[in-house]
Structure 1
């Protein structure tokens, strides 16, 4: 036993010495610091398992950084049970492929609950084709294009995706031009028709005085703009870009929102974090629900009939009402019962969705059943509403984007008192970046969404553009959301002012509220979350100039100290009511 044990001991010693010598040669060839050599000199006193563990740790630090080896697209279901795209990222880590993360992107299709079965069937087929094409793009070309790239190289990845998408756009354009040529060649040219004779002038009415002007007819309603075309499969671009960003965050052991924030504030991030650690967030805790109340839940008298409704796919309660003010009075009454003061503890943002209210047969908005108003009358309606309910801080899509004159009117009338936000009335992110103009229609803010070909770099670029124009950015969810909560990280990382999540119901939306609370807790614990008690509004041009002049004069006089800006001033906008 002694000889056998002694032999095993000598063999182990020789193996350790040999391994030590090989490691020293490797370190010397690769110019590794002397501290690693000292570590190896001490391995003689360690057990073999400890030696290999230390060596593995040392070599892992010298290993090649993770690179993308495969991107996989899948057809999955969203929160409404409809098809959408899932993307998985595989990376090569220490010579082994590993599944790092997956994301699910929502489709751009709107959900119309009252559509006929024919329209619903046609849209379902279009949605399925869009998802199938996106899956094909990811599994064929995109995965090949991204192989070997590092997930931390977000700008390089996004540029590859943009180039690929531009090629697809060009292919689609050439295909449509060819189809048009073939169609024109097969259709016979019709003979020109004689133009109809002009109608006779209207007869002069008897008794009409000379020079008296006839009553001018109402200005014809502007037809809706054609729906902006969306290239089939474009959601692959946005999904892959988000998946790569999330992969980089996971590999870097950091939250996604910090990864996005670093992407946007790469140069000024350290300075902003230094400022923010001196700012403490004041948290208001809502009072508990009262055990008993004498009033009904709507704040009315005891015994008053309660308003009932159903839950929409947006997670919001849809109710019937007799007046425009009734839903707002309902919210006001509930807040009074809870001890909340409107305009202090709670502010309202109304998603007016004016494009859904237009009655094209009458050329007016149907604000309630049987109540129609022109675009000019809508402006007066909103002014009266803000006068009655000053706690409303935002009107989203108060008019159709085609009513540009009335957008100017409502902005001039209310722009200093509440945000006038363009959601559906705004162009897509790609169009906004292409035009570089976010002022049509005239508004104080925009809703942006992560859909289709939108990349992480696009989101950074559009929010920078909106910030430069002193507009407010609202990051919004889509109607067919999934349970993926990356949207919240994007909103916080981009530093947007508001996030629009819909009602606090359904798993795919509750998960986002939970993620928002988690981020808030993390930032409060780290001392990185600033708080601004008052809402600042971007005034119209005349008021802006006067305010800037006063601020400049006060600053010169030493009366206006510079206030540090919060790095993540994200707030929540719930869809509380629809006009």
Structure 2
């Protein structure tokens, strides 16, 4: 009976003390406290408790994911989107560390996605170190099979959160080659849009400007912003206070039916802003897939005006000869018209003019095994000397890494462009720009120099103070 008697208060206290001793010894608390007190006495810090906080933080476990919160929002286009907040256990406490917005568009049932995914995904990712990007992305690919935008939001939030907790810039955290110098991509700024954006007859999609790479980039971008403002002044003087329509990415949509007047307008606006021809590059986003008629075997240059492949090759060459600062043509031909790509490359080989494949064609060339059964495999295009990767269409950060490395492995001579013209938030604009720096892209295609895209520009320029140099 005596063995079962309740412990007295003093006996309970002794038992607890023995447990405490074992616990603190197991975690080496006594020696750590002794070291802290000795170091702190020697340092004599003015902020004693701040010093202690930093000391204990250095001994704490690495941050691990504690959960996610998902909520429905509207993006800048008014489409449905989700914002994912990522929480991590830091110093024993669950804290929000980052967030990311991904757009769904259309009629996505975001409420269903939240109700069916938030709890299960939090459980799946719980206790995964936030720095283990590959592990996180693998779990996302295995468990989020239908809602790709949600997987992207979680993956990108993990990358930005890990960089923040590591107290390093995102571009350093995501870099492919740690020893390499960070190179800042040159920004391409959208000025004028036609094709499906405009009521003009001209079918070319877009005209962009960028600084030449051998000059003061920041100063020249500031002048390109003046060019953009001068264009608006020109349009309002001609068409009244309403000016001309503007695309969702900020480019003006004037009614100009031929290519030559468009280029003359851009050149004149650059001169008015103090930009000489050799200080600015022109890029023409043709998007020829939308111009090509399979039955006719021709391209619709302007509404009702059809051109054979050789004619279009001649037009591009004539444009480049008349305007030597045309730096590149984006998607100048249909993705399967490899003969045309080769002809143009041969004609322009001495002009330092880039032929750029769009993101869809780039994916087809890198991943022929993913083509739908029965679809035509585009031939290899050795004439493509710049490939475009769409960061916003890439599901996870690990997938983006893989695509970039695969493209660089296919051809070391390729330069890489990424399209950030459809970004939706200021934080997204900043973070995606840093990812482009870290992944070593040569060019960033942006919208017009206004709104969100000025955030991207600011990010590029601010990073130059962190030993980044422009391409």
Please tell me the TM-score bracket, short chain as reference. Answer: 0.7 to 0.9
Please point out which of 480, 495, 505 is paired with 2:440: 495
Alignment of 1:102-121 (within 5 A): 102-107=99-104
Please point out which of 86, 89, 93 is paired with 1:89: 86
Q: CA deviation at 1:513?
A: 2.4
Give the structure 1 partner of residue 334 of structure 2. 400
Give the structure 1 partner of residue 406 of structure 2. 465
Give the structure 1 partner of residue 354 of structure 2. 419
Give the structure 1 partner of residue 38 of structure 2. 38
Distance 2:288 2:365 in 1: 23
Please point out which of 276, 282, 290 is paired with 1:341: 276
Bigger shift: residues 22-31 or 358-367? 22-31
Runs of 5+ in structure 1 lacking a partner?
1-20, 110-123, 169-231, 274-279, 290-296, 299-303, 532-568, 570-579
Q: CA deviation at 1:380?
A: 2.0
Secondary structure of residue in 2 paired with 1:98: strand
RMSD value, Cα:
3.9
Please point out which of 429, 452, 455 is paired with 1:511: 455
**Against the structure 1 CA distance between its residues 489 and 93, is the aligned structure 2 distance closer, same or farther, given a 3 Å change threshold?**
same
**Against the structure 1 CA distance between its residues 324 and 55, is the aligned structure 2 distance closer, same or farther, given a 3 Å change threshold?**
closer
Q: CA deviation at 1:287?
A: 11
Secondary structure of residue in 2 paired with 1:317: coil
Contact 2:284 2:329 in 1 (8 A): yes
Instruction: Please give the per-residue CA displacement for 1:381-416, whole angstroms capped at 9, x wherever unaligned.
Output: 212211211111111111221323322322333355
Contact 2:359 2:387 in 1 (8 A): no
Alignment of 1:111-190 (within 5 A): 124-125=106-107, 128-129=108-109, 135=114, 138-164=117-143, 168=145
Please point out which of 291, 294, 315 is paired with 2:250: 315
**Against the structure 1 CA distance between its residues 73 and 446, is the aligned structure 2 distance closer, same or farther, given a 3 Å change threshold?**
farther
Distance 1:340 1:42 in 2: 60
Secondary structure of residue in 1 paired with 2:391: coil
Q: CA deviation at 1:55?
A: 4.3
> Would you say how many aligned residue pairs link Structure 1 and Structure 2?
397
Distance 1:407 1:46 in 2: 68
Distance 2:222 2:90 in 1: 50
Give the structure 2 partner of residue 554 of structure 1. none
Contact 2:354 2:385 in 1 (8 A): yes
Instruction: Please give the per-residue CA displacement for 1:59-96, whole angstroms capped at 9, x wherever unaligned.
Output: 32211111101122322211111112321100111221
Distance 2:92 2:101 in 1: 27
Instruction: Please give the per-residue CA displacement for 1:168-206, whole angstroms capped at 9, x wherever unaligned.
Output: 3xxxxxxxxxxxxxxxxxxxxxxxxxxxxxxxxxxxxxx
Corresponding position: 1:449 with 2:390? yes
Q: CA deviation at 1:251?
A: 1.0
**As a proportion of its length, which structure holds more strand?**
2
Contact 1:429 1:448 in 2 (8 A): no
Alignment of 1:195-214 (within 5 A): none
- TM-score, normalised relative to structure 2: 0.73
| Structure with bigger gyration radius | 1
- TM-score, normalised relative to structure 1: 0.60
Give the structure 1 partner of residue 309 of structure 2. 375
Q: CA deviation at 1:259?
A: 1.4
Distance 1:331 1:143 in 2: 51
Give the structure 2 partner of residue 237 of structure 1. 151
Secondary structure of residue in 1 paired with 2:137: helix
